[in-house]
Chain A
Amino acid sequence: MNNIRKNGLSLVEIILSMGILAMIMLPVFMTFSSGNANIQITESEFRAHTAALELMEQIISLPFNLIKAGSYDAAKIVDGGAFANSPILFRLSENPDLKPFLQVEEVKRGEKIVFKKITVKIAYPSARASGRMRDFTLKTLVANENI
């Protein structure tokens, strides 16, 4: 009488192999979904970039002596609000998710102010309905044309 031989795979083996396959496939699908999330971040970054340029351009459009040195946070940078307690008003498009920050520093040579360094930082949400924020920063120098 021949011995009984079990040539087929057992149920446990098959289930285990499928479990391993599922674990291999999971990161693949995670990669797909992260690609979609990256598009959302790109959209937020584009809005932050546009908002940064809007704030930067309106400041560098001012005459040199009216660009007052100081730090201005989101509470001070509001549409229709005064810039540095002057008659100049901020003009900002509505973007409730974005938190702007503006810093103006004087660059001196001797006693004369030769440049003003403008830094605009926009904090934006890295993903929808998440508390995490990312920053987008723009910097430029405005030359004193009166020296």
Chain B
Amino acid sequence: MKTFKKNPPATTAFTLPEILIVCAVSAIFLGSAIMLFTNFRQGFSRSENVAVLLQESALFMARLRTDLNNAVLSGPGTGSFDQQIQALPDSLTFNVYSSRQGRINQVAYRLLPDAKGGSISRQEADQAERILIKNHVASLSWQMQLERFATPGSGTFRIGVGLDLQLKTSSGREKPFTIKTTMFPARLNRQLNNP
């Protein structure tokens, strides 16, 4: 009868303490990685929402600034200095010179309140109304400011549009983005002081 000699047990596998230590180290490593990644995801989501608000507010303010730089004295609906820019709680209206059309147009910005968040639209003359900020406006106020400085002669006038805008993200969880500034329509101001 052929007999086989039994081989001694080969130590090719991990021992239990080794496996336990590796599991513990892996758990610590994976836990840290998951925690870092979760924090990153939350931070990224917040930053992304803030970036959207920044983009929208930049677009709106650039558009309004361009229009105010093109604002002129003459045109329909003008009167005394304090009526050059008509600021109501839900609308801002003034006249601009359109070099493309070679005429003076009325531009109107409107605040469209909504329970989800307000919107801001812009309309020039009879063109289609365009939404600049959609459902992100938490609050908005605009005021026409007319100053008169006692300089030699008849004094110096300066018109400005004070803007206080607060935007909120769609989720509403992040801190609202607030921007407060005054825009000075340079061409209109030069016209006021050099009629």
Contact = CB atoms under 8 A, between A and B. Distances in A.
B47 A35 contact: yes
A26 to B, nearest CB: 9
B184 A61 contact: yes
A14 B26 CA distance: 10
Nearest to A83: B149
Interface stretch (B50-58, B112-120, B121-129, B132-140): B50-58
Interface stretch (B4-12, B79-87, B101-109): B4-12
Contact of A18 (B26, B159, B194): B26
A43 B54 contact: yes
The interface size bin for chain B is: 35 or more
Contacts of B44: 32, 35-36
Interface string A59-92: 0111100100000000000000000001111010
A54 interface: yes
B156 interface: yes
B36 interface: yes
Contacts of A46: 54, 57-58, 179
A60 B149 contact: no
A1 B194 CA distance: 110
Interface size class of A (residues with CB under 8 A): 35 or more
Contacts of A66: 151, 156
Given A36-B47, A42-B51, A61-B184, A50 B61 contact: yes
A43 to B, nearest CB: 6
The 6 closest A-B pairs by CB, nearest first: A61-B189, A57-B184, A39-B47, A32-B40, A87-B149, A61-B184
Interface of A: 1-2, 4-8, 11, 14-15, 18, 21-22, 25, 29, 32-33, 35-36, 39-40, 42-43, 46-47, 50-51, 53-54, 57-58, 60-63, 66, 86-89, 91, 93-94, 145
16 contacts: A4-B8, A5-B10, A8-B12, A15-B25, A25-B33, A36-B46, A51-B181, A53-B65, A53-B181, A58-B160, A60-B186, A61-B158, A66-B151, A88-B156, A88-B158, A93-B180
Interface of B: 7-8, 10-14, 18, 21-22, 25-26, 29, 33, 36-37, 40, 43-44, 46-47, 50-51, 54, 57-58, 61, 65, 145, 147, 149-151, 156, 158-160, 177, 179-186, 189-190, 193-194
